[in-house]
Amino acid sequence: MKPTLGVTGLTSNAMALIAPGAFLWLTFSEQSAYGAPSAGSAMWLGMLLATLLCLATAICYAELSKLYPGAGSSYYFAEQAFLSKKKAYKWARIYKFMVGWASHLYYWIYPGVMVCVTCIFIGYMAGQLFPNTFSVAEGSPLLMILFAVVFSFGVSYIAFRGVVGATGVNVAINVIQITALIIFSLMCISHRATVTEGSVDYALNSTGAADLHVQDTNPAATTQPGQPAASPTPKVDTNGNPVYAYFTCDKDGNIIQPNNAGNTEPLLASQTLIIDPKTNKVTVDTNPNDSPTQVPTDSNGVPTDSHWVKSADGLTLTVTGGAATQPTTMPVGTLAKAQINTITYKGGMVKDGNGIWQFLYHDSARSVIHWHSGQYIIIQGCIAILCLVGFESVTSMGEEALNPKKHIPIAVIASLLIQGGFCYLFEYFAANYFQSSCYTNQTAAGSPAPIGDMMQLVGAWAFGKPSMGWWFMFWEAITVFLAMIGTTLSCINTGARVTYAMGRDEEVGTSFGILHGTNNTPHRCIWLLATISVAVGIYGAIFYLCGPAASASLDSNLSTAQTGSIWYKGVFSYARAQNFPNSLLTITLISNFGTFMLYMMSSLVAMVAFHEHQMHNFVKHKLIPLFAIVANALCMTFYLVGPFFVPGMSKKEPLIALGFSAGWGVLGVIFFMIRSKKLGRSAMVAAPPTSVGA
């Protein structure tokens, strides 16, 4: 490998793996769903906890890279640290292999997670671009399977061509995605500051489009005993367009809203809300003659009294051809208009009949950063780890760095502070602050792309049209897709180099330690990782709406045509989806467990490396590594015990992840013993080396 990377290139490669564009888009849904109905309230503090935990580990990596610059990252550090000690040297090979094996649990699953979330993203965008064929709410299994193959091998080809080209891609992607998401975040904050309590605002209808009007619903269907309770389904006409709830107007033609005490205060039973159709201004009306009355419609939105005639735009009903008798006697010329959606920030956290808090949205900026529960913070922090890992990836590029001892430590810390300490915290604050009655946390939990939903809503508000909101989301989505490419590319680059380092040491097959003759890249490692990523990505995408993410909407997401098409063969009903573990959460936890183990072992390596070293500093080389070890261990432990006492935490996914991780560990022991026998190597280092590179 050729040394070509300076501090900017190294930092950009690490930043690409911590890409806020890629993770904010889709992990927001996972964070909203897991630990529901309340843990979503601690999303921002969970991100802060994860940032602090990762910062402690990042300091360990930065310090180690000053001593041992070279390809291999933690794997290389472990060997060098133990070999440098008079007594601990004998454990060098065993500990080095343990670190390398744990690295693979993280680096081999993590790219598959990225393939999975990119497939879900594509499923969502396909619904936006081709709504008659695909559903916004539920990605096509066949489409996601096909895309997983193309995306994984396509990105791997970029890695195969060489790191210099990959670095140029990462620099461009970082600039584009950070700029785009800062714009989105500023718009979210501006929306919350401008759209006040009781104002008219956009919400999403059943087609996934921003709409100022309230969509009507059909009554909930009856269910068999023992089956999940059905929910009311949204009304759509024969063309799939939303059907609105129509209420009679006052004598001046103003829309009258139903009594809703959450939208304004005080609002008495004798009062109603009136919305001026020209200015959308909401006022309280005390005229008892202006009581709103809903016009009954059938399942297709056709008024049950034929004297009501719908306008071409579907927003107004007029009594013609004789007096209407439903809902009451109405003279010719009476108007009814589609109910306008109004916003509230009140009642975002309420207790249900069992005394359990239900989190819907934050009522203030203070609530976003407020300590609601320590348990919720840990739940969120353990998922948020997935967003922040990757800062250590740059330590595997020692052989490509122009000045590794100086630039790699800077790149490790800088990448985490820029992406985690600034971008993620700012963007998570903005997205949480944006939520309201028009888009709740529970809505986000059931969406394949809640950030895409929010982009539509805030774009429609900012630019004045639902269509403009869609275009704003579309262009932002392009930057997110670029971020997903950059993140997956960086994953594969890093994972392949760890496997290459072990292959070069003959701890795994020697064929993995060979570089491509022309591109000078670990090509066999790259293509192996591409194949694994396809398998992990497909599994993650197929079952991502199961388990905690399953909702009654699974029974109504698809049109009749979509249900019968090849694109949606094998989709799950709500009753069936609840029986499967959530695949995205499962592979996330497997990757995170590998991360926790790797970070704990690497922190211990830092303590060993600087023990009795002339550069030893108690804070940097004892206190901080010890904190990192304890914090990572506690996070991993909480995910195993939390489901037994925290409402909303599923047991299936953590236990499956633990079982897989344990199985990987047992396989590692067996592989190490077989490999040692084949190579004729002793597990313990027999004698200390004469010198160790520093």
What's the CATH number where 384 sits? 1.20.1740.10
**CA gap 180, 22 in Å, rounded:** 12
Amino acid 285: pLDDT: 63
Give this prediction's pTM.
0.83
Cα–Cα distance, 338 to 345 (Å, whole number): 23
Q: Clarify whether residues 180 and 256 are in a common domain.
A: no
- Measured in residues, the chain has a length of 694
For residue 448, being part of any structural domain is answered with: yes
Residue 173 sits in the same domain as residue 295:
no
Last-in-domain residue among 305, 340, 375: 340
Q: Look at residues 310, 340, 370 and tell me which one is the last residue of a structural domain.
A: 340
CB distance 444 to 453 below 8 Å: yes
The answer to whether residues 290 and 438 belong to one domain is: no
Residue 46 lies in a domain: yes
Domain that holds residue 255: 213-340
Look-up of token digits 């559903």: 135
- 309 φ, ψ (degrees, to nearest 5): -115, 130
Instruction: Return the residue matching tokens 């793996």.
Output: 17
pLDDT value of position 260: 47
pLDDT reported for residue 286: 61
Q: List per-block mean pLDDT (blocks of 10 residues) for the chain, which spans 694 residues.
A: 75 72 72 78 92 92 85 78 86 90 89 91 91 89 95 92 65 80 93 87 88 81 51 76 83 58 45 60 61 80 89 87 83 84 82 75 92 86 82 77 85 89 91 92 85 93 92 90 82 84 87 85 92 95 87 81 90 90 90 89 92 88 93 84 75 88 93 91 79 50
Contact present, 204 and 526 (Cβ < 8 Å): no
User: Which of 318, 340, 362 finishes a domain?
Assistant: 340
522, 573: one domain: yes
Which residue is listed with tokens 């389904």? 233
Q: Which residues are within 8 A (CB) of 384 and not within 5 positions of it... i.e. 6 or more apart?
A: 27, 31, 46, 47, 49, 50, 51, 424
Q: Look at residue 263 in the predicted model and tell me its pLDDT.
A: 42
Nearest-angstrom CA–CA distance, 679 and 577: 48
Residue 199 lies in a domain: no
The answer to whether residue 692 sits within a structural domain is no
Based on the domain organization, do 33 and 178 belong to the same domain?
yes
203 assigned to some structural domain: no
pLDDT at position 327 is 83
What pLDDT score does 694 carry? 42
Q: Which amino acid appears at position 412 of this protein?
A: V
Omega prior to 266 cis, within 30 of 0: yes
Backbone angles phi, psi at 639, to 5 degrees: -70, -20
Q: What is the β-pairing status of strands 246-248 and 335-338?
A: antiparallel
**What is the three-class DSSP state of 464?**
coil
Q: Same structural domain for residues 187 and 238?
A: no
Element (H or E) spanning 467, and its range? helix 466-504
Q: What is the pLDDT of residue 587?
A: 92
Residues 393 and 445 in one domain: yes
Statement to judge: residues 308 and 224 lie in one domain: yes
